């Protein structure tokens, strides 16, 4: 049906424009009417495959300049950037913009900060000698969640974790016997017991 429409309108509009609007290839149209496609249309079909391959290989992060360089370096194919742009547009290929790193650490506050008792010594001789913790932000389909985790440095087991829609040093597993963990690593006193096994119940301390 689309090829028939192009054949009816080819006297009024360029075949390239009609094929692009109707999302069909020129080679396919020429094949439907029994005429061999022009050499450039054949080249475009081959180039389109290489362009898509380079774009997919980059995890959809490459734009026309990098795709052009990829074709030249890997396949030895030298074409203009304008042609690359046209082939990408015809296939709906767009470069995915990487988000810039955003620092979420807030050091300008008047909250108490735990002493750095570990001093970057992350070796432990026995269980429950040293616990460390941290939080990370998770982006879900329903919004952001903040995951807080406490780890035993000897066993590498998670001894406490919590999910919360609010980033707070006093929420979830960061609250241990009423004392805040904040963002610093703290050495736990000997004699403290932790749940056994590779993971524990939610918000255990």
Q: Which residues contact 31 (CB under 8 A, 6 or more apart)?
A: 37
The residue that leads in pLDDT, 81 or 195, is 81
pLDDT value, residue 192: 44
The sign of the dihedral angle between the CA atoms of 93, 23, 85, 88 is positive
Residue 188 has pLDDT above 60, yes or no: no
- Residue 71 · residue 53 · CB < 8 Å: no
If one compares 203 and 46, the residue with the highest pLDDT of the two is 46
DSSP letter (8 states) at residue 186: B
Q: 203 versus 59: which is more confidently predicted? A: 59
Q: What are phi and psi of 86, to 5 degrees?
A: -65, -45
Question: Which residue is listed with tokens 């010594």?
Answer: 121
Please indicate whether residue 187 or residue 70 has the higher confidence score (pLDDT).
70
pLDDT in tens, 3-52: 888 888 888 888 888 888 888 888 888 888 777 777 888 898 899 999 99
Can you tell me the distance from the alpha carbon of 123 to that of 129, in angstroms, rounded to the nearest whole number?
10
Segment 144-167 shows an average pLDDT of: 87
Reported pTM: 0.41
Interval 89-142: pLDDT, tens:
988 999 887 777 777 677 777 878 778 888 888 899 999 888 888 888 888 888
Does the structure show a pLDDT above 60 at 169? no
3-state secondary structure 25-47: CHHHHHHHCCCCCCHHHHHHHHH
Is the model more confident about 41 or about 193? Answer: 41
The pLDDT of residue 104: 67
* Both structure tokens of 144: 């952001």
**67 pLDDT higher than 60:** yes
In whole angstroms, give the CA distance from residue 164 to residue 39.
61
């Amino acid at each position: 049906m689309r090829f028939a429409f192009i054949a009816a309108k080819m006297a009024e509009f360029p075949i390239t424009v009609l094929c692009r609007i109707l999302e069909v290839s020129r080679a396919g149209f020429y094949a439907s009417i029994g005429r061999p496609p022009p050499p450039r249309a054949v080249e475009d079909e081959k180039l389109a495959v290489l362009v898509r391959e380079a774009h997919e290989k980059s995890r959809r992060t490459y734009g026309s300049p990098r795709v052009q360089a990829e074709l030249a370096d890997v396949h030895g194919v030298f074409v203009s950037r304008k042609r690359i742009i046209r082939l990408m547009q015809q296939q709906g290929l767009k470069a995915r913009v990487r988000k810039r790193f955003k620092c979420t650490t807030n050091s300008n506050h008047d909250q108490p900060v735990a002493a750095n008792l570990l001093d970057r010594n992350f070796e432990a001789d026995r269980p429950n000698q040293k616990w460390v913790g941290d939080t990370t932000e998770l982006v879900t389909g329903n919004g952001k969640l903040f995951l807080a985790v406490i780890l035993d440095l000897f066993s590498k087991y998670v001894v406490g974790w919590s999910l919360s829609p609010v980033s707070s040093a006093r929420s979830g597993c960061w609250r241990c016997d009423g004392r805040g963990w904040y963002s610093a690593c703290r050495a736990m006193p000997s004699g403290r017991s932790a749940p056994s096994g590779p993971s524990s119940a939610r918000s255990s301390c």
